[in-house]
A = this chain, B = another copy of it.
Amino acid sequence: MEKLILIVNDDGWNAQGLKVLASIASAMGQVVVVAPCNGRSGAACSITPAMPVIVEKISSKQACKAGYAANITVYSCTGTPVDCVKIAREKILPRTPDLVLSGINHGDNASISLFYSGTVGAIVEACLKGYPAIAFSLRTRNKQCDFSPYKQVAQHWIGKILNEGLPTGSCLNINFPEVQTLKGTSFCRMAKGIWHTEWIETNSDETAQKDTLNEIHTYTLSGVFENLEPEAEDTDYWALDHDMASVTPLKLDMTDYALLSDCR
Contacts and interface: CB of A to CB of B under 8 A. Distances in A.
Contact of A46 (B42, B59, B114, B254): B42
A256 B250 contact: yes
A190 B46 contact: no
A91 interface: yes
Given A44-B45, A116-B45, A218 B52 contact: yes
Contact of A217 (B43, B91, B188): B91
A96 interface: no
A55 interface: yes
Contact of A198 (B51, B52, B86): B86
Copies of the polypeptide in the assembly: 2
Interface string A1-42: 000000000000000000000000000000000000001011
A73 B42 CA distance: 29
A43 B207 CA distance: 25
Given A86-B199, A199-B86, A253-B189, A47 B53 contact: no
Interface stretch (A63-71, A121-129, A148-156, A175-183): A121-129
Nearest to A248: B255
A216 to B, nearest CB: 5
Contacts of A192: 169
B221 A48 contact: yes
Question: Taking each of A56, A169, A199, which has the highest tally of chain B beta carbons within 10 Å of its own beta carbon?
Answer: A199
Interface of A: 39, 41-57, 59, 80, 82-83, 86-87, 90-91, 112, 114-116, 118, 121, 124-125, 128-130, 166-167, 169-170, 187-190, 192, 194-195, 197-199, 201-202, 204, 207, 210, 214-221, 247-260, 263-264
Contact of A199 (B91, B188, B194, B220): B91
Contacts of A197: 90
Contacts of A259: 166-167, 170, 249, 251
Question: Taking each of A55, A83, A260, which has the highest tally of chain B beta carbons within 10 Å of its own beta carbon?
Answer: A260
A116 B216 contact: no
A150 to B, nearest CB: 19
B256 A220 contact: no
Contacts of A252: 112, 115, 254
B189 A257 contact: yes
Contact of A220 (B53, B115, B201, B220): B53
